[in-house]
Structure 1
Amino acid sequence: LFPKAAISDYLEISDHPVDNFARELTALEDLDNFVNSIWRVVEQCQTSQIAHNLFLARGRTSGLLRAILWPRRSVYTAKSLSPLDSVAMTNGDSYNIAVAELAGMFVVAGDEVAEQLVQHGGLFKALKHERLSSDVINHLIASLSRDKMQ
C-alpha cells in the first residue's frame, strides 16, 4: 500500500488494475477515523451513483484491519460467467454471481475460462474492464477533498 497521490488520507494498491481507496487500522484508538474515512468514500460513491466494492481483511504485516474500496462500472444485466467472452452468456441456471462476489470470489464458467484468465494477463484485462474513466475518479477524489475541508 502506498499513499494515494491525490488525497493524502487514503492509501492505494498502486499496481492494481482498478483505482482504489485503502485505509489501514493500526490502533484501536483510531477506529472512528478509520470507519468514517471509508464511509466518506462509500457515501460519495452512493451520491454519485457509482457502483463499488469493499473488501475488509486483517493486515498481514502492519495493521489490525485493512479496508480497500474500489469504484467500478455498474452492471445492469445478468453478469457473464466469462469476462473474456465478447457476447455475454446468459446465466441459465439462475446462479446469482453477485452472492459469490460478496464472499470475495471471482466466478468463472469452468476450467477453460479459468485457464484463459491465468494465461496472458487475462485476469488483469478482466479487472481493467471494470475500471471507471479518469474523469469519474477525479470527480470522486475532488468530492472527497471538498468533504474533508468542510
Structure 2
Amino acid sequence: MAEDCPEFNYKSSDFIKQIEWTANADSKLDALLQSRWAVAKGNGYFLYDLDQLESRVLSGQYGFVSQLNMGRANLRRKPQEMMSLSQPFDKQKFNFTKVQSREILMVLHNEDRRCKGKKEREDKDVVLLNVSPIEHCSVLLVPSINSQLPQILTQEALEVAIEMTILSARRSLLVGYNSLCASASVNHLHFHAYYLEHKLRLQSEPTKELSGPCHVMLSWPVSGFVFQLVDGDVMTLARNVYKVTEYLHNREIAHNVCLTRGSRLGDDTDFTHNTLRAFIWPRRSVYGVKPVDAFNVAFSELAGHLPIMNETEFDKLSEESAIDALQQAKLPSEKFQSLQKDVSDLFIERPT
C-alpha cells in the first residue's frame, strides 16, 4: 500500500449528527469523495460504466429500489470461495493491499485520538475506489488496511465506519458490511459505501425495544436488530453493534450490517428528528462461491436496494418475488426467536 495516500483529517466537531431529510448540501468529505470519484470515472478506472443505470421503484408496501446493473454481474472480479465465518486471511489471494495506487482515494484520520491522548491507530483506514461500482460514488472503506485482517468485524472498524457515515451531510449515503458466508466477496476486512438517491422505507421502518438500546424491526421481510446513534456517541454505538456481531460470529451465524440516516427508533416514523440507524441481519449462510440469480442477498438488498443481474429478471421483478428472494436468506423463525432472547440478555444490566 502506497505511503503517500492523501489524508482526510477530521475531528468529532466535524460530525453531522442530524440532517433535515430535504437537505442536499455536501460536507467536506462528500465534496472530496465526489470529486475524486469523478476524476477516476473520467480516467476510465472502472470495469464498467454506470451512466445507463436503469432504476425503478417496485410498487407495494416496501418501495424496493430495483436497478439493472449487468456490469457488476458480468465484469467484476471473481468472488472468493467462503466456507466459514472464521476463514483465515490468505495473503496469496486477492486483498486490498494489492490494488493499484490510482484506486486509493484517501486515508481517514481522526485527529481527536491524538488530541485526547488516545493511542493512535498504527495502521491506515483507507477509502478505495470500488472498480465494480454498485452506485454513484461506490467505494470501499478498509480499516487498518496493512494489518490484513480477515472479514470479521471489530469494534474499532465499526467506529471508523460510523465516523465516515456521519462525516457526510448526505442522507443518501449507505455504508454496509457483509460477513463471510453472507455475500462477502473478499476475505479482507472492508465496508461498502455509496450514495443512493432514493428514500428507503428502512430509514423510517417502525421498531420496538428488545432490551436497552437494542430494537427489532416490526414488519420488515427479514428480521433483524437495530441500534441508533445517541448524542453523537460513536464509541457506544460501535460497542453495541459489536456485541451482537461478535456473538453471531462466535456461533457461526452469517450476518449483514447497514448504517444509514433515518428517523429515531420506535413507532414514530417522522423524519424531523434524524439519527443514524445501524441494522444487523442474522441470516442463513451461503457457502462456496456466491450463486448468481436475479440478485444475491447482501446488505444492499436487505436494506431495500436491489442491484439486478440481468434484464429479464429486472423487467419481471415484483415486490412479491423480491420478498421471496430475500426470505431465502431468512433464519427459521424459531431460531430467530431464540436468538432474540440471547441478544436481549447481552443488554440486560446486572448488579456488580
TM-score (norm 1): 0.72
Q: Would you say 1:72 and 2:278 are equivalent positions? A: no
> Counterpart of 1:23?
227
What is the total number of aligned residue pairs between the two structures? 133
Listed as ranges, the gaps of 5+ residues in structure 2 are: 1-205, 264-270
Task: Give distance in 1, aligned partners of 2:299 and 2:277.
Answer: 17
Whether the aligned pair in 2 keeps the contact of 1:44 and 1:140 (CA below 8 Å) is: no
Distance 1:102 1:126, change over 3 A: closer
Q: In structure 2, the residue corresponding to 1:75 is in which secondary structure?
A: coil
Distance 1:58 1:120, change over 3 A: closer
> Counterpart of 2:236?
33
| Shift, 1:76, TM fit | 0.3
Q: Would you say 1:123 and 2:334 are equivalent positions? A: no
Deviations along 1:86-121, one digit per CA (max 9) or x if unpaired, are xxxxxxxxxxx79xx56766443311112232x261
Distance 1:67 1:39, change over 3 A: same
Listed as ranges, the gaps of 5+ residues in structure 1 are: 85-96
More strand as a share of residues = 2
Whether the aligned pair in 1 keeps the contact of 2:214 and 2:344 (CA below 8 Å) is: no
Q: Percent identity?
A: 24
Task: Give distance in 1, aligned partners of 2:243 and 2:255.
Answer: 13
Task: Give distance in 2, aligned partners of 1:31 and 1:143.
Answer: 24
Q: Would you say 1:45 and 2:241 are equivalent positions? A: no
More displaced 10-residue stretch of structure 1: 6-15 or 73-82: 6-15
User: Match of 1:77, as an amino acid?
Assistant: G
| Shift, 1:52, TM fit | 0.4
Q: In structure 1, the residue corresponding to 2:244 is in which secondary structure?
A: helix
Task: Give RMSD over aligned pairs.
Answer: 2.7
Q: In structure 2, the residue corresponding to 1:58 is in which secondary structure?
A: strand
> Counterpart of 1:88?
none
> Counterpart of 1:59?
262
> Counterpart of 2:346?
147
More helix as a share of residues = 1
More displaced 10-residue stretch of structure 1: 133-142 or 66-75: 133-142
User: Match of 1:23, as an amino acid?
Assistant: F
Q: In structure 2, the residue corresponding to 1:41 is in which secondary structure?
A: helix
User: Match of 1:42, as an amino acid?
Assistant: T
1:109 to 303, 309, 318: 309
